[in-house]
Amino acid sequence: MSLEFDWLFLAEIMLAGLGAGGLYALTGLAFVMIYKATRVVNLAIGEMLMIGAYLCFGLATAMNLPMWLAILVAVIGSGGAGALLERVAIRPMLGESPIAVFMVTVGLASILVGVVELIWTSEPRRLPEFMPATPVMIGEAFVPSKVFYGFLVAAVLIGVALAVFRFWRGGVALRATASDQQAAYSMGIDVPKVFSLSWTVAAMIAAIAGVIVGAVGGISSTMGVFGLSVLVVVIVGGLDSVLGALVAGLLIGVVESLAGGFLGGEYKLLATFLILIVVLLVRPYGLFGTHEIERL
Amino acid sequence: MRIGTARSSYRHDEALFDSRTQHAWLAILAVALIGFPFLADEYWLYLACLVAINIASTTGLNILTGYTGLVSLGQAAFMGIGAYTVAALEQKLGAPVLLNLLAGGFVAMLGGLVVGLPSLRVKGLYLAIATIAASVVLHFVFANWHAVTGGHAGITLVPAEILGLSFDTSFRLYWLFVPITILMVAGAANLFRTRIGRAFIAIRDRDISAEVLGIPLLRYKLLSFGLSSFYAGVAGGMWAYFFRVVTPESFPLILSIFFLAAVIVGGMGTILGAILGAVFMTMVPEALKLVVGWLPLSADATLILSPVRTIVFGVLIVGFLVFEPLGLQEIWRRIRRFFHLWPFRA
């Protein structure tokens, strides 16, 4: 073993980590959106990702749609599915304890996995290639093209989403509902519609993330495990903080990649969850989350 | 409460079962439990053992989640600790079975305390997620601590043996598991008539108020965590003797979700609820197997069984939370009430 440290290897791993982190940030954004608007901790986020990827796969292979159209239809379809889930399973739980709603999303996750396995079986599949195949070089470091373009798409989408929240009417309504539900109601905002909107948009974002994740690593019915890492991301960042989701997404991506690269694949999840434990110990409300004070 | 059960002493008032009817039903239940193994075939005995294990673990989780209000998604991992302890003791030392089970319980309890101490800084959902983190870490330990756990290959056990009698069939294991489970359930039922149990309930209802009333929160929450892990550990030990092979994949996160689902489906915070929930959730997949077998699908029937099972599992969780949040126990209560009042009120 040489004493010389392989800086190029480190750089490549960091870049791959940032690529994965971009996807974590994107999915984390979808998660935070649902949490801010509806106060639901959605454990089914990984499965919503999976549904998006499988819809795209089904449309592209069984119906022979061109890839761009398949992605478009899959995203719209996932949005519809998100709205449906909200209406059927989440809306009736309004006012119930957060734990009960959390368990409902656990149940939803199980249903989604079952549906996917029923239609497409549990065998891993590959999405048709749709990204340029030539690898990208940043300086001397080699970055797989899918990771690079995936990160690019994630970054652009995050930018668009943030702009939409800032300036679009629906986005403003969503932020208003998040900050004070009662006040939003009395200002004439249709809060149930905002709930529905947040689930729809979050499902669409998750679907895009799912397609990218699927393109990079293939799709399978166990893809939902991605959701566990996303859960760590949003807790570390603070459940109700968009900025937190972005920062923590990149952080977790890099840490996972470092642990995987230097220690071995089985250390990935361990590293992620050790960070989670430390954050829960030191700052339970996350890096940028609101510290809620409990009153009797 | 039944009509016509006037209590004339505190003893009578405190009794777990206070009416003649209940005693009669209990006697019938006891006869049924003793008679069952002689009438049932191997398959039903196998199920009965599995149900007994699941009842023990679900009752433990119910102490923590149903009675103390602390949601945990780590029950399967604690079962894993128990199972590995029992397997290692059995394989390396050949210690007596009952001692192994007890040790499994205590080591799991220790694990529960270690996990609980930092986790109890947070509550609610954060706690649930902290316990997921604990199960990920434990899974890593199971898979990589080769000296004790045997790594991914796991540990294979010989059948349990008490006084030269080998517990190698479901029929024999039934006589080991069912009494242990009954003992544990009775213990849990009695727990909630003591100061400790009442303190748990107070913490569930409002932890800050409980602290104001003079209940040391950390100590009691830890105690609840420890007790629940103890139950999980013993259940895990029984699991080890039942399947006789313990691997890291034996106790996945989905198993923890299964136990939490059983608590919810049965009815949180009732002894009967945990029992009903565990029985129901264990039997549903078997019932599905029968139904799928009847359907005219022939060849790929087994292929769709696993996804259908996953879907039904999810539908049960969502359905119960949305339509019957108090669980099976509430349905049972309604049925009982109907017969109590019949024919005066329909």
Residue A255's nearest CA partner among A6, A20, A5 is A20
Put simply, the chain B residues between 22 and 61 with a CB less than 8 A from any chain A CB are: none
Contact B321/A103, CB-based, under 8 Å?
A: yes
How far is residue A209's CA from residue A26's CA, in Å, rounded to a whole number? 7
How far is residue B48's CA from residue B171's CA, in Å, rounded to a whole number? 9
Q: Which residue has the higher pLDDT, B17 or B262?
A: B262
By Cβ distance, the residue of A96, A117, A266 closest to B140 is: A266
How far is residue A223's CA from residue A243's CA, in Å, rounded to a whole number? 25
Put simply, the chain B residues between 74 and 113 with a CB less than 8 A from any chain A CB are: none
This model's pTM is above 0.95: no
Contacts of A121 in chain B (CB under 8 A): 303
Contact A115/B307, CB-based, under 8 Å?
A: yes
Are β-strands A141-143 and A136-138 bridged in parallel, bridged antiparallel, or unpaired?
antiparallel
CATH class held by domain B39-341: mainly alpha
- Joined together, the tokens standing for residue A293 give 């004070």
Residues B207, B121 contacting (CB under 8 angstroms)? no
Contact A276/B118, CB-based, under 8 Å?
A: no
A271-285, B194-208, B268-282: least confident range: A271-285
Q: Which residue has the higher pLDDT, B340 or B132?
A: B132
By Cβ distance, the residue of A99, A114, A231 closest to B314 is: A114
B9-23, B106-120, B143-157, B282-296: least confident range: B9-23
A22-26, A267-271, A292-296, B36-40: least confident range: A292-296
A261-265, B78-82, B195-199: least confident range: A261-265
What does the domain layout of chain B look like in residue ranges? 39-341
ipTM reported for the complex, 2 dp: 0.87
End-to-end CA distance of chain A: 61
Contacts of B284 in chain A (CB under 8 A): none
Amino acid at A295: R
Contacts of A98 in chain B (CB under 8 A): 124-125
B292 reaches A (C-beta below 8 A): no
How far is residue B25's CA from residue A124's CA, in Å, rounded to a whole number? 52
Residue A138 backbone phi and psi in degrees, to 5: -110, 110
pLDDT, tens digit, 9 for 90 and up, residues A241-285: 888 999 999 999 999 999 988 888 788 889 999 999 888 888 888
Distance from CA of B298 to the nearest CA of A (A): 16
Count of A–B CB contacts within 8 Å? 126
* Chain B residue whose CA is closest to A225: B253
By Cβ distance, the residue of B130, B257, B261 closest to A280 is: B130
Q: Is the dihedral of CA B299, B300, B302, B308 positive or negative?
A: negative
By Cβ distance, the residue of B124, B133, B144 closest to A276 is: B133
